[in-house]
Amino acid sequence: MVKVVDEVKKIEQDIISWQRDLHQIPELQLELPKTSKYVMDRLNEMGIEYQTLVNGNAIVGLIRGNEEGKTLGIRADMDGLPIVEETGLPYASTNGNMHACGHDGHIAMLLGAAKILNENKDKFKGNVKLLFQPGEEFPGGAKPMIDEGALENPKVDAVIGLHAGGLSEELPHGKIGIRYDTMMASMDRVLIKIKGKGCHGAYPHLGVDPIVTAAEVVTSLQTIVSREIAAVEPVILSICRINGGFNQNIIPDEVELEGTIRTFNNETRKKIDRRIEETVKGITMAHGADYEYLYEYKYPPLINNKEFTYEFLKSAKKILKEEDIVELKEPLMGGEDMAFFLEKVPGTFFYLSNQKEIGGKVYGHHTSKFALDENELWKGSALFIQLALDYLNK
């Protein structure tokens, strides 16, 4: 038997040190040369075999057990955000980017799990795949990894991942949150160009005003949600950027609208896509304008597998007190491309609540003063290890 908590506590300072090192070198999107090298260096030190995908920016490690069996995938995303850090921490980033969403902690927790599992590979059957993924924030690294074979050879039978920080208001500090079905919404992007005819602001009758047209489009799009989708179905359609014009007395040629759509239902996503374009087409035609339209299906809804989540819960109770495991009442409208892994194989995604106060205050994800409480990181590693042992030896 592996005394998981005892083993993880022995390397807790390593996990914290890895997180601090990674925190200082945040990189963006699908280009993570320093981050990937750091992970590969640690895997080399541990003697864990791996391959790289996505032009060397994704890493798939493999730990083989003592005999043939199932394969469990454990995923950690690795990218940061283009935010200038203002935490004042001694290990703060100074390169103009920031781990403002906790991905540095995700990597460190998976490295911790990898170290212990590799040292105890004689105690489980099958395999553990370590899925170090770039580009979660943008443009999405899970699908390219899957397309390049991350879930094959050996075939992954189940997958797990986590998100640290403070995503859910239902979750007190130090506890984990689970759900047995929908955990997070889809995340899609819409880009609309309203094409009019520019003219002097004093003579609007000589042109076609894309600003007035765009204003009508923005208001009308909200009725898709309020009048065409059942009130009990959560849907968000937010226009988040309007760009047009360059002077107080000139009507421009075009206006750009960009926004996000969130839902838990793939059929609803398709309906909203169709109805947005139909609405834009009708309004622009009525105003004598034209349009260009792009709807990008980015991340699908993140849906946990009920049976696997129940197995994870049984393992989690060996690590944490029962009161430290919270079944969340509501899913989040935020998106996560872990959803692509969960579309392919059964698995679960859970939250670890571990935000750190900066100056006596807690700051949210994607802000310049967001920070993780490193004293809670051991829990993520321990939960990964315990699940791997239980699942693979079942």
Active site (catalytic) residues: 299, 374
Total number of residues shown for the chain: 394
CA nearest to 30, candidates 164, 127, 148: 148
Alpha carbon 24 to chain centroid distance? Answer: 20
**How many Cα neighbours within 13 Å face the side chain of 264?**
14
Rg (CA), the chain: 23
- Residues 118 and 112: their CA atoms lie apart, in Å, by 10
